[in-house]
């Protein structure tokens, strides 16, 4: 990071604010002198809007944008508004750039990026102000543009972007239009799908490993964006913001690309390149949590077709057995519990003991697995109250089965 900052300073893109105090701006250029766009005039100030259109087929990393998107599965996960139509043009992807990476009293938003599907392809609107005093105008322009959409999507926006905008709207006594929209946070889906095989689910990591995207050299990293904007305020040279605008534009295009990729994964029942065994397991858990038990079973089956060598394989066997139990298919669950039980999964042994006791009345087998669970528990469980309760419960089970076994004789 320090090396990057040094290079940026050497190139003149970033300069210390302290060096610029008490000096006149070195440039009197305005955004329209450098960038292609239009000024939107509000009573509270001016907002510069840079618009671009990318036709269908445009490649963002490995993702080719398509106009044929369907939302069946995502609709069931998200519970979209009843008047939402199965049309990508109803969704706006957004990302904000602020003067600080915190919610401090002096923080403000100076750039908001929007991306959306249209009949022509995907389109981006970058809304930027040349002075903090125009923040209210920026929020008004953003609110106006949001009105045409039913749904918004972001990346960690429920934790940062949306609360930040809500606070600034409140300060300026503006309507909270964003808060009225159904909000999809794509970070949630990224974590559910890829956290098992990626070290981090930061957007940059998702771009690199999932979307196959490499950003250009003019990219300004997010942590530097506030400093670059403050340096711009001192020098008033819009050229300094090229990397910031590029950063924001790529962010929102990446959201649209990621959204399309997730839709494709959900709609093609596993027929997507790049998916591996852990992805299938993640999909199984996603559907299982949402009540889609048969879809979950399908993805578990794909997982077991792909591998048996994952580090948590034995625990996945136990979970699949539990899904089969929920579906009433005990006989199919037995081999998975037996395999994972032999590998040291206590809960699998307990489930086998339950099955032989309650379903088949085979008390000798029920005792066998209960004793195995007890033996494992002694080795694996510490003396905390919660964990010692496991041993207590197993002991209670053993006593009960023993009574039944004796009565049977």
Please report, in angstroms and rounded to a whole number, the separation of the first and last CA atoms in the chain.
Answer: 74
From residue 54, give the alpha-carbon distance in Å to each of 51, 105, 111, 116, 282: 10, 38, 21, 10, 32
**Least reliable range by pLDDT among 3-7, 17-21, 221-225, 353-357:** 17-21
Query: For the domain that residue 376 is a member of, what is the CATH number?
Result: 1.25.40.10
Instruction: Answer whether residue 387 shows pLDDT above 80.
Output: no
Last residue within a domain, chosen from 267, 295, 320? 267
User: For residue 322, is it within any domain?
Assistant: yes
Q: What's the token pair of residue 77?
A: 């996960």
In a domain, 292, yes or no: no
Sign of CA dihedral 172, 173, 174, 176: positive
Same domain, 113 and 51: yes
Which pLDDT score is estimated for 399? Answer: 93
Residues above pLDDT 70, as percent of the chain: 86
Q: Are 116 and 149 in contact (CB under 8 A)?
A: yes
In a domain, 54, yes or no: yes
Predicted pLDDT at 138: 98
Residue 78 in this model has a pLDDT that exceeds 90: no
CATH number, domain containing residue 196: 3.30.420.10
Q: What is the pLDDT of residue 150?
A: 87
Q: Is residue 379 domain-resident?
A: yes
- Do residues 81 and 9 both lie within one domain? yes
d(CA 49, CA 138): 10
Give mean pLDDT, residues 147-166. Answer: 95
Domain that holds residue 360: 311-408
**pLDDT value of position 22:** 41
- Whether 107 shows a pLDDT value over 60: the answer reads yes
Q: Judge if 238 and 362 occupy the same domain.
A: no
> Can you give the pLDDT at residue 20?
37
* 69 — pLDDT class (breaks 50, 70, 90): confident
Is residue 330 assigned to a domain? yes
Of 241, 267, 293, the domain-final residue: 267
Query: pLDDT tens for residues 242-295?
Result: 999 999 999 999 999 999 999 888 876 655 666 889 999 999 999 999 889 999
Whether 69 and 210 map to the same domain: the answer is: yes
Q: Are 231 and 351 part of one and the same domain?
A: no
In three-state form (DSSP H/G/I as H, E/B as E, the rest C), the secondary structure along the chain is CHHHHHHHHHCCCCCCHHHHCCCCCCCCCCHHHHCCCEEEEECCEEEEEEEEEEECCCEECCEECCCCCCCHHHHHHHCCCCCCCCCHHHEEEEEEEECCCCCCCCCCEEEEEEEEECCCEEEEEEEECCCHHHHHHHHHHHHHHHCCCCEEEECCCCCCHHHHHHHHHHHCCCCCCHHHCEEEEHHHHHHHHHCCCCCCCCHHHHHHHHHCCCCCCCCCCHHHHHHHHHHHHHHCCHHHHHHHHHHHHHHHHHHHHHHHHHHHHHHCCCCCCCCCHHHHHHHHHHHHHCCCHHHHHHHHHHHHHHCCCCCCHHHHHHHHHHHHHHCCCHHHHHHHHHHHHHCCCHHHHHHHHHHHHHHCCCHHHHHHHHHHHHHHHHHHCCCCHHHHHHHHHHHHHHHHHHHHHHHHC
Task: Give the residue from 209, 232, 267 where a domain finishes.
Answer: 267
Q: Do 90 and 160 belong to one domain?
A: yes
Same domain flag for 70 and 188:
yes
Within 13 A of 285's CA, how many CA atoms are on the CB side?
17
Q: What is the mean pLDDT of residues 128-143?
A: 97
* Rg of the chain in Å (alpha carbons): 28
Same domain, 213 and 358: no
In sequence order, the 6+-apart residues with CB closer than 8 A to the CB of 309 are: none
Model confidence at 375: pLDDT above 70: yes
Residue 301 domain-assigned? no
Confidence at 79, pLDDT banded by 50, 70, 90: confident
Do 31 and 120 lie in a common domain? yes
Per-residue confidence at 21, pLDDT binned at 50, 70, 90? very low
Long-range contacts formed by 298-304: CB under 8 A, 24+ apart: 298/269, 298/270, 299/270, 302/270, 302/277, 303/277, 303/278
Q: Are 46 and 129 in contact (CB under 8 A)?
A: yes
Answer yes or no: is pLDDT of 26 > 70: no
> For residue 6, what pLDDT is reported?
58
Backbone angles phi, psi at 52, to 5 degrees: -140, 150
Query: Do 198 and 324 share a domain, yes or no?
Result: no
Beta bridge partners of 52: 124
Residues 163 and 28 both lie in one domain: yes
Which residue from 368, 346, 372, 342 is spatially nearest to 357, judged by alpha carbons? 368
Q: Reply yes or no on whether the pLDDT at 13 is more than 60.
A: no
Regarding whether 6 and 82 lie in a shared domain, the answer is yes
Q: Give the pair of three-digit tokens for residue 109.
A: 């938003």
Residue 302 forms part of a structural domain: no
User: How many domains are contained in the chain?
Assistant: 2
Is 280 contained in some domain?
A: no
State residue 12's pLDDT score.
Answer: 55
């Amino acid at each position: 990071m320090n090396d990057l900052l040094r290079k940026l300073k050497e190139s003149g893109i970033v300069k210390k604010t302290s060096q610029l105090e008490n000096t006149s701006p070195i440039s009197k250029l305005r955004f329209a002198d450098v960038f292609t766009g239009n000024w939107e005039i509000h009573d509270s100030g001016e907002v510069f809007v840079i618009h671009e259109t990318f036709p269908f087929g445009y490649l963002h990393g490995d993702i080719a944008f398509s106009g044929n998107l369907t939302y069946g599965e995502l609709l069931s996960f998200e519970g979209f508004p009843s008047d939402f139509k199965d049309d990508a043009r109803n969704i706006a992807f957004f990302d904000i750039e602020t003067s600080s990476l915190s919610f401090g009293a002096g923080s403000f938003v100076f750039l908001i990026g929007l991306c959306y599907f249209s009949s022509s392809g995907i389109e981006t609107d970058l809304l930027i102000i040349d002075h903090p005093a125009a923040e209210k105008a920026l929020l008004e322009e953003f609110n106006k543009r949001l009105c045409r959409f039913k749904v918004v999507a972001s990346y960690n926006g429920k934790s940062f972007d949306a609360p930040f905008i809500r606070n600034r709207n409140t300060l300026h006594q503006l309507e909270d239009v964003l808060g009225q929209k159904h909000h999809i946070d794509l970070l949630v889906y990224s974590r559910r799908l890829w956290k098992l095989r990626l070290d981090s689910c930061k957007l940059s990591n998702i771009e690199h490993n999932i979307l196959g995207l490499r950003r250009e050299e003019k990219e300004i990293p997010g942590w530097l964006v506030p400093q670059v904007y403050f340096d711009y305020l001192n020098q008033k040279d819009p050229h300094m913001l090229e990397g910031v605008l590029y950063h924001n534009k790529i962010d929102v295009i990446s959201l649209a690309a990621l959204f399309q990729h997730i839709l494709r994964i959900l709609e093609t029942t596993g027929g997507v390149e790049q998916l591996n065994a852990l992805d299938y397991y993640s999909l199984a858990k996603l559907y299982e949590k949402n009540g889609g038990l048969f879809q979950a079973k399908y993805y578990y089956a794909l997982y077991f077709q792909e591998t048996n060598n994952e580090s948590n394989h034995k625990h996945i066997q136990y979970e699949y057995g539990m899904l089969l139990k929920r579906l009433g298919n005990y006989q199919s669950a037995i081999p998975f519990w037996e395999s994972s039980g032999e590998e040291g999964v206590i809960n699998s042994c307990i489930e086998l003991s339950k099955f032989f006791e309650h379903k088949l009345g085979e008390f000798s087998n029920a005792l066998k697995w209960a004793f195995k669970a007890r033996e494992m528990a002694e080795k694996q469980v510490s003396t905390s109250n919660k964990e010692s309760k496991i041993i207590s419960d197993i002991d209670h089970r053993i006593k009960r089965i023993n009574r039944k076994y004796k009565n049977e004789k």
